[in-house]
């Protein structure tokens, strides 16, 4: 059974669209369960009715026409209960409703299971049989398992199916939901970030010059054959004769007499080379994927690889220098810091990443740059959106494709209001952040890219609470040398001097992989990250610390901070190395005192050891992004669980309050540099807990200042007391929103526009 299940799911996954997927399901399930009928009913979101969408065994002419209300019939009953309904004689059930024309009157036995995706019923999968028979438990279990596995595929195919049609007609509007990445609204034109050659993203097009297209294809083919031969030659002695034979097979797959001839045939019939190649290769891939034999099935991967290589050559030959429209919305499967660096800042108005969530590092960078962003838009057929006009709502995590004029107008209004608010806030730039009852709260910024520096100074930042040193490391193709690092750090320190700049030692691992130092692990967030890596590589740590200390000469505004600390011994070892570097540099003539050294509290272990850690250092800074991830056991990058990631969760608030009390007991200043600090409501609670400074992305700074200027610390304290008695993040959030509204800051709350 397991094999059958696996095959059906694989085949459905490889389907070209929703209709094909449904056809495969009804055909394969009917055969696997040895029954007479298998049908799929899908819920139509606009009418709420369950539409008869595919069948084997009933009247196919009624497909797409017949439908049932949600409260009607056995299909409605399955959907309503969200559970299987298994009946020996369907007609005798009180909920049975005769649906004319589909021809089910001959079938008595009925088994229906719901198709559920993200808690919502998408449809119902039904099998039927003429003779009265009760489907047994294993039938039911099989159908339930299959339906659970297919739900995601169907949901995706439903959304992308609609979108593909729209892409072709170019008119109907569509809304895709992801997760908020960086606040704000943007209206602009899509530029797809080099998606890499993708056979499935090529659009059919007529060949402008058939001969030229054939020539381009043959050249690409020869280049790939040459590459493969070269790889085989380079591997030389390491390959067995059988392996060599495999390379020969690869070369011959691309031979002019086989796949190559088919592609040329299509080009001659009028298709451009990329379209012809993709059509032929996809057909062959599908053919191999459908094979029962696992060895042959695996060949689909080889064919896909070869096709992609040829396509890459064809695309490289066609490449023109990229021109960015004035209002560019950059879209990619997984955007990185590097992709942000490629586009002129003044042209970039928004970002959409198919993968990742609001706490991924690219989202953090986007917030620092003030670029509205949507993350985790998994249903977005991004490769097909080039040049399309879209709206992104970074407050609520939605993308609107082909927006209707009235929707566009509504978003334009939000955009205008946001701009007006930013202009208003600008007047607060040089106003010190002091509450109505005189409590001072220094507001610092988090930086990484050089653009952050100018933005931060423009927002009146009083210092840097977190300089993510891994960002310059990520933008290179090797470790920067000590001297290169010294120059980069010097630039940061000089830009802010005499204001303090807190430099975090290299924090790689987790989702921050350096391309030239890959860390491959099953569970990277629980693996080799942050201080664990740098203590294992003292040469990297020492070079970085020396570069920081040298950069600090004559300035004296450096602070050093250690990430991902879980044990006091890690702090002791790091302190030893920092002291040693400082001593050695002093012996070589470097002047300047040892800078303040601090520890980040990012894991639950560090929360409970906050006092022991505080005793060893000069300051404590809470990294609430990771702390939330580890306390709630929610991967900060996983869009599927993004709705469970809440820095306002009562457990996180308890931890934040605990750390504040622990630091105060040791007389050590406490700060926070996670994204919570940039949330006006969160900042009010942190003020009440006794945090001494807040470090945030530059975009949030003036909003937070506005919130704190408008209240008394005593009010914040009574709010905190009330909030600490609440049971869930949603209640906390609602209470904070009420508080902000009562204090004239309703503008900071953003409900969905459309």
By beta-carbon proximity to ligand PEP, the closer residue of 121 and 365 is 365
Q: Which of the stretches 11-19, 30-38, 163-171, 620-628 binds ligand PEP when contact is defined by CB under 6 A?
A: 620-628
Q: Does 623 bind Mg ion (CB under 5 A)?
A: yes
C-alpha to C-alpha distance for 80 and 437, rounded to whole angstroms: 56
Residue 713 contacts residue 635 (beta carbons within 8 Å): no
How many residues interact with ligand PEP (rule CB under 6 A)? Answer: 11
By beta-carbon proximity to ligand PEP, the closer residue of 176 and 506 is 506
For ligand PEP, the binding residue among 108, 355, 468, 649 (CB under 6 A) is 468
By beta-carbon proximity to ligand PEP, the closer residue of 135 and 444 is 444
Min dist. Cβ of residue 230 to ligand PEP (A): 41
The DSSP call for residue 390 is E
Return the exposure string of 224-252: e unless at least 16 CB atoms fall within 10 Å of the residue's CB, then b: bbeebeeebeeeeeebeeeeeeebeebee
Min dist. Cβ of residue 563 to Mg ion (A): 6
Return the exposure string of 64-92: e unless at least 16 CB atoms fall within 10 Å of the residue's CB, then b: eebbbebebbbbbbbbeeeebbbbeebee
**396 alpha carbon, distance to own chain's centre:** 14
Min dist. Cβ of residue 222 to Mg ion (A): 49
Min dist. Cβ of residue 272 to ligand PEP (A): 45
Q: Within 13 Å, how many C-alpha atoms sit on residue 528's CB side?
A: 12
Residues 644-673 that bind ligand PEP (CB under 6 A): 673
Min dist. Cβ of residue 618 to ligand PEP (A): 18
Q: Does 403 bind Mg ion (CB under 5 A)?
A: no
By beta-carbon distance, which residue lies closest to ligand PEP? 623
Asked if 361 is an active-site residue, the reply is yes
C-alpha to C-alpha distance for 265 and 268, rounded to whole angstroms: 5
DSSP code per residue over 262-325: HHHHHHHTTB-HHHHHHHHHHHHHHHHHT-SSHHHHHHHHHHHHHHHHHHHHHHHHH-------
C-alpha to C-alpha distance for 279 and 263, rounded to whole angstroms: 8
Q: Does 625 bind ligand PEP (CB under 6 A)?
A: yes
Min dist. Cβ of residue 357 to ligand PEP (A): 12
By beta-carbon proximity to ligand PEP, the closer residue of 184 and 358 is 358
Residue 637 contacts residue 666 (beta carbons within 8 Å): no
For ligand PEP, the binding residue among 86, 147, 624, 697 (CB under 6 A) is 624
Min dist. Cβ of residue 622 to ligand PEP (A): 7
- Compute the C-alpha angle 232/236/238, nearest 5°: 110
Collapsed DSSP state (helix, strand, coil) of residue 206: strand
Residues 326-365 that bind ligand PEP (CB under 6 A): 364
Residues 6+ apart with CB under 8 A from 710: 436, 743, 744, 745
For ligand PEP, the binding residue among 114, 184, 332, 623 (CB under 6 A) is 623
Residue 168 has phi, psi (to 5 degrees) of: -75, -45
By beta-carbon distance, which residue lies closest to Mg ion? 626
Residue 651 contacts residue 633 (beta carbons within 8 Å): no
Task: Give the pairing type, strands 464-468 and 501-504.
Answer: parallel
Q: Does 470 bind Mg ion (CB under 5 A)?
A: no
Residue 624, binding choice from ligand PEP, Mg ion, none, Cβ under 5 to 8 Å by partner class: ligand PEP
Min dist. Cβ of residue 507 to ligand PEP (A): 6
By beta-carbon proximity to ligand PEP, the closer residue of 459 and 469 is 469
For ligand PEP, the binding residue among 602, 635, 679, 715 (CB under 6 A) is 602
Min dist. Cβ of residue 418 to ligand PEP (A): 25
By beta-carbon proximity to Mg ion, the closer residue of 289 and 602 is 602
In 3D space, the residue among 296, 310, 205 whose CA is nearest the CA of residue 254 turns out to be: 310
Asked if 643 is an active-site residue, the reply is no
Neighbours of 458 (CB within 10 A): 13
For ligand PEP, the binding residue among 674, 678, 681, 682 (CB under 6 A) is 674
Residues 470-529 that bind ligand PEP (CB under 6 A): 507
Q: Does 466 bind ligand PEP (CB under 6 A)?
A: yes
By beta-carbon proximity to ligand PEP, the closer residue of 400 and 504 is 504
Residue 538 contacts residue 577 (beta carbons within 8 Å): yes
Residue 709 contacts residue 431 (beta carbons within 8 Å): yes
By beta-carbon proximity to Mg ion, the closer residue of 393 and 626 is 626
Residue 307 contacts residue 329 (beta carbons within 8 Å): no
Interaction mask 575-614, Mg ion, x per CB under 5 A: ---------------------------x------------
Min dist. Cβ of residue 636 to ligand PEP (A): 8
Kindly provide the residue ranges of all beta strands, DSSP E only, lying in 575-683, ordered along the sequence: 597-601, 619-622, 670-672
In 448-557, where does DSSP find H-type helix?
Answer: 450-458, 470-474, 482-496, 531-536, 538-551
Residue 281, binding choice from ligand PEP, Mg ion, none, Cβ under 5 to 8 Å by partner class: none
Q: Within 13 Å, how many C-alpha atoms sit on residue 246's CB side?
A: 11
C-alpha to C-alpha distance for 148 and 125, rounded to whole angstroms: 11
For Mg ion, the binding residue among 11, 289, 626, 679 (CB under 5 A) is 626
By beta-carbon proximity to Mg ion, the closer residue of 602 and 679 is 602
How many residues interact with Mg ion (rule CB under 5 A)? Answer: 3
Q: Which of the stretches 17-25, 117-125, 426-434, 623-631 binds ligand PEP when contact is defined by CB under 6 A?
A: 623-631
By beta-carbon proximity to ligand PEP, the closer residue of 150 and 508 is 508
What is the SS3 string spanning 438-460?
Answer: CCECCEEEEECCHHHHHHHHHCC
By beta-carbon proximity to ligand PEP, the closer residue of 77 and 474 is 474
In 3D space, the residue among 722, 721, 724, 696 whose CA is nearest the CA of residue 708 turns out to be: 696
Catalytic residue among 284, 361, 400, 646: 361
What is the SS3 string spanning 494-512?
Answer: HHHCCCCEEEECCCCECCE
Residue 468, binding choice from ligand PEP, Mg ion, none, Cβ under 5 to 8 Å by partner class: ligand PEP
Residue 613 has phi, psi (to 5 degrees) of: -70, -45
Q: Which of the stretches 52-60, 167-175, 349-357, 623-631 binds Mg ion when contact is defined by CB under 5 A?
A: 623-631
Q: Does 626 bind ligand PEP (CB under 6 A)?
A: yes
Residue 674, binding choice from Mg ion, ligand PEP, none, Cβ under 5 to 8 Å by partner class: ligand PEP
C-alpha to C-alpha distance for 203 and 276, rounded to whole angstroms: 10
Q: Which residues bind ligand PEP (CB under 6 A)?
A: 364, 466, 468, 507, 602, 623-626, 673-674
Kindly list the residues in this chain that would bind Mg ion in the complex (CB under 5 A). Answer: 602, 623, 626
Catalytically active residues are 361, 673
């Amino acid at each position: 059974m397991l094999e059958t299940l696996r095959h059906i799911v694989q085949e459905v996954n490889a389907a070209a669209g929703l209709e094909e997927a449904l056809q495969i399901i009804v055909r394969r399930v009917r055969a696997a369960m040895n029954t007479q009928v298998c049908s799929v009913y899908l819920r139509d979101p606009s009418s709420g009715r369950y539409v008869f969408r595919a069948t084997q065994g009933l009247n196919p002419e009624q497909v797409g026409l017949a439908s049932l209300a949600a409260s009607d019939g056995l299909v409605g009953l399955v959907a309503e209960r969200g559970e299987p309904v298994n009946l020996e004689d369907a007609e005798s059930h009180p909920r049975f409703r005769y649906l004319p024309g589909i021809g089910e009157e001959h079938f008595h036995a009925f088994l229906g299971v719901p198709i559920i995706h993200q808690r919502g019923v998408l449809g119902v999968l039904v099998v039927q049989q003429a003779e009265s028979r009760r489907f047994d438990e294993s039938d039911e279990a099989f159908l339930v398992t299959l339906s659970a596995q297919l739900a995601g595929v169907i949901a995706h195919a439903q959304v992308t199916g609609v979108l593909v049609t729209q892409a072709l007609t170019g008119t109907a509007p569509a809304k895709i939901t992801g997760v908020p990445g960086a606040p704000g609204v943007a209206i602009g034109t899509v530029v797809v970030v080099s998606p890499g050659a993708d056979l499935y993203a090529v659009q059919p097009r007529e060949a402008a010059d058939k001969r030229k297209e054939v020539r381009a294809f043959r050249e690409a083919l020869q280049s790939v054959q040459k590459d493969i031969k070269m790889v085989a030659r380079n591997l030389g002695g390491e390959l067995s004769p059988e392996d060599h034979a495999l390379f020969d097979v690869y070369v011959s797959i691309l031979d002019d007499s086989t796949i190559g001839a088919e592609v040329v045939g299509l080009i001659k019939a009028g298709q451009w080379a990329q379209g012809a190649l993709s059509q032929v290769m996809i057909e062959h891939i599908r053919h191999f994927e459908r094979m029962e034999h696992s060895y042959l099935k695996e060949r689909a991967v080889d064919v896909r690889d070869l096709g992609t290589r040829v396509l890459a050559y064809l695309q490289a030959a066609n490449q023109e220098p990229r021109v960015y429209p004035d209002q560019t919305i950059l879209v990619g499967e997984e955007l990185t810091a590097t992709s942000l660096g490629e586009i002129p800042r003044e042209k970039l108005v928004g970002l959409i990443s198919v993968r990742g969530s609001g706490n991924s590092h690219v989202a953090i960078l986007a917030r620092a740059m003030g670029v509205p962003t949507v993350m985790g838009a998994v249903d977005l057929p991004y490769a097909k959106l080039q040049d399309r006009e879209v709206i992104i709502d970074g407050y609520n995590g939605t993308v609107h494709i082909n927006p209707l004029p009235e929707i566009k107008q509504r978003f334009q209004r939000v955009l205008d209001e946001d701009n007006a608010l930013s202009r208003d806030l600008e007047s607060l730039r040089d106003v010190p952040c002091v509450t109505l009852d005189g409590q001072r709260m220094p507001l610092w910024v988090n930086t990484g890219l050089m653009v952050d520096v100018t933005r931060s100074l423009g927002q009146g930042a009083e210092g840097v609470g977190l300089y993510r040193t891994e960002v310059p490391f990520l933008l290179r193709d090797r470790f920067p040398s000590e001297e290169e690092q010294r120059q980069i750090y010097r630039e940061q320190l000089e830009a802010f001097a005499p204001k303090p700049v807190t430099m975090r030692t290299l924090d790689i691992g987790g989702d921050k992989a350096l391309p030239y130092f890959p860390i491959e692990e099953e569970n990277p967030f629980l693996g080799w990250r942050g201080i664990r890596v740098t203590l294992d590589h003292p040469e990297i740590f020492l070079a970085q610390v020396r570069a920081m200390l040298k950069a600090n000469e004559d300035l004296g505004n450096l602070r050093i901070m250690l990430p991902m600390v879980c044990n006091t011994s890690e702090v002791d070892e790091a302190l030893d190395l920092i002291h040693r570097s400082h001593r050695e540099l002093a012996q070589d003539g470097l002047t300047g005192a040892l800078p303040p050294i601090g520890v980040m509290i990012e894991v639950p272990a560090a929360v409970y050891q906050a006092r022991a850690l505080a005793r060893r250092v000069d300051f404590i800074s809470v990294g609430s992004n990771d702390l939330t991830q580890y306390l709630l056991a929610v991967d900060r990058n996983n869009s599927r669980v993004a709705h469970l990631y809440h820095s306002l969760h009562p457990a996180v608030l308890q931890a934040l309050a605990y750390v504040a009390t622990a630091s105060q007991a040791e007389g050590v200043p406490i700060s926070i540099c996670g994204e919570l600090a940039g949330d006006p409501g969160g900042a009010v609670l942190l003020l009440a807990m006794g945090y001494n400074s807040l470090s945030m992305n530059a975009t949030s700074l003036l909003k937070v200042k506005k919130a704190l200027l408008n209240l008394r610390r005593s009010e914040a304290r009574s709010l905190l007391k009330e909030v600490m008695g609440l049971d869930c993040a949603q209640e906390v959030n609602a209470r904070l929103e009420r508080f902000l509204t009562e204090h004239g800051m309703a503008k900071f709350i953003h409900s969905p526009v459309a």
